[in-house]
Amino acid sequence: MDASSLLERFNNWLKESITIKLLSIGFLVLILMIPSNWIDSLINERQARAESVIAEISDKWSGSQTISGPVLVLPFIQREKIDKGKEGIEIREWTEKSYFLPIDLNILGDLKPELRHRGIFYAVVYESQLNMKAQFRKPDFAKLNIDEKDVLWKDAYMIFGLSDLRGIAKNPVFKSGENTMTGEPSSQIYFSKESSDGTGGNGIITQLQWASAEDFRTELSVQLTLKGSTMMSFAPAGKTTHVKLQGPWADPSFNGEFLPFKSEINSSGFWAEWNILHYNRPFSQEWIGSAQKISGAEFGVELLIPVDQYQKSMRTSKYSPLIILLTFLSLLMVEIMRKIRIHPFQYILIGAALTIYYTLLLSFSEHIGYNSAYAIATISTVILISLYSSTFLDSKKLVFIFGGVLLFFYSFIFVIIQLQDYSLLVGSIGLFLIVALLMYFSKNINWYKNEIR
């Protein structure tokens, strides 16, 4: 037998061997994983771009707001005796501050959300009207080892913490009893002599203008018009803190350390109520000169924009190797059972169409939402591949069956993406059934005999 005959037989074996075909398909799937990774990077890039635009819009309007306080601050004279031996006793004096939180704090808030956009990206901002009423109790100075005669009532003031002072839309109105007071913004709000990180926070300072203990008022009310972005949170400053928020937003998320004890969400908006006790928070009701912060127990509401197309697109792209593999296996089964021959380049073009599917899904979802984009990308891809497969499949019936199989694959993935709690269960069962079908249709194939002619 001459060399040319051996070479011809070897070439025919390469063309007709099922093993070589399987290895070729596996190699093509691995090659197509490269553009699939590019798709993942593109989705991450677009999501990062959306988040940066949201942050930029929020920064120019006002950031998320956290309200802390009000806190009553009463300076007093602190004395210390220093024994200097033969020189006698020296008394050192300095001004210290005592801090008192309200017994009851009631906050009624009305949020007015608004969508701001830049290009195709949106951010939610809001303007809120807050009515706050705080009830204080006259401090028990003996409990804190303070002589009431050393209290500097004329220097008493109230502090009110805000995370972003740019959000103050109108001059706040403070009332102590019948007295109306004005406040001054400050970026050096200290809830103690020295804060734990050495810096102060943002807020408002209001001088109470008390001349003596007789001027002490137990009630304080605050009317505040406040702008913010995405989220509004509260620190439970009161020994009992009651907060009620409402607004015309159908997609709120109640975040923080506490969920509301009552709430309602419908298509026209939401309302929610919280009731927090001092047992639930990690700070005390009153203190002197310690580095205490009113933090660690915030709660509130986040105004969500229901644009989860990036997360869903990313989850969908994770199934790209599976879709490509199942499609190629379906074509291989057609080759073996119908005795036709499909060129590797035709596999590559079909794989390219299956990969470009995800760019279609991402680009359309940014404009019309994930579900509609999924339908458009799926129908377009199935039609394209079905029309192309008609050039090498030997019957229209087979083309329709192949298109139906593709449509089933994408429909199955869509169901999995929509499910949250049962996605793993449904996906596992579905893949098990697909493998079972492949076993059934391949049971009569003699894999050691050349079937492609």
Query: Around Cβ 265, how many Cβ atoms within 10 Å?
Result: 15
Among the listed residues 374, 379, 351, the one whose alpha carbon sits nearest the alpha carbon of residue 361:
374
Angle, helices 344-368 vs 320-338, to 10°: value is 140
Amino acid at 378: T
Q: What pLDDT is stored for residue 16 in this prediction?
A: 60
Give the type of residue at 116. Answer: R
Among 64-73, 85-94, 384-393, which stretch is predicted with the lowest mean pLDDT? Answer: 85-94
256-303 pLDDT tens trace: 899 999 999 998 999 999 999 988 888 888 888 765 778 888 999 998
Residue 195 confidence (pLDDT):
44
Task: Count helices and strands (H / E) in the chain.
Answer: 8, 17
Average pLDDT of the residues in 108-130: 87
Q: Which tens digits make up the pLDDT trace of 2-42?
A: 555 655 554 555 556 666 666 777 777 777 777 777 777 87
306 vs 297, higher pLDDT: 297
pLDDT tier at 103, thresholds 50, 70, 90: very high
Which of left, alpha, beta for 230 (phi over 0: left; psi -120 to 50: alpha)? Answer: left
Total-model pTM? 0.71
* Residue of higher predicted confidence among 373 and 340: 373
**Model pLDDT, residue 107:** 95
Other CB atoms within 10 Å distance of the CB of residue 416: 20
Contacts of 438 (CB under 8 A, 6+ apart): 329, 333
pLDDT at 368 over 70: yes
- Cβ atoms of 450 and 336 within 8 Å: the answer is no
Question: Is the N-terminal amide bond of 70 cis, ω within 30° of 0?
Answer: yes
- Is residue 377 very low, low, confident or very high in pLDDT (cuts 50, 70, 90)? very high
Copy the structure tokens of residue 256.
């923080």
Domain ranges of the chain: 16-50+310-441, 64-307
Calculate the average pLDDT of the chain: 82
As a whole number of angstroms, the distance between CA 312 and CA 374 comes to 10
When pLDDT is averaged across residues 205-217 and rounded to a whole number, the result is 85
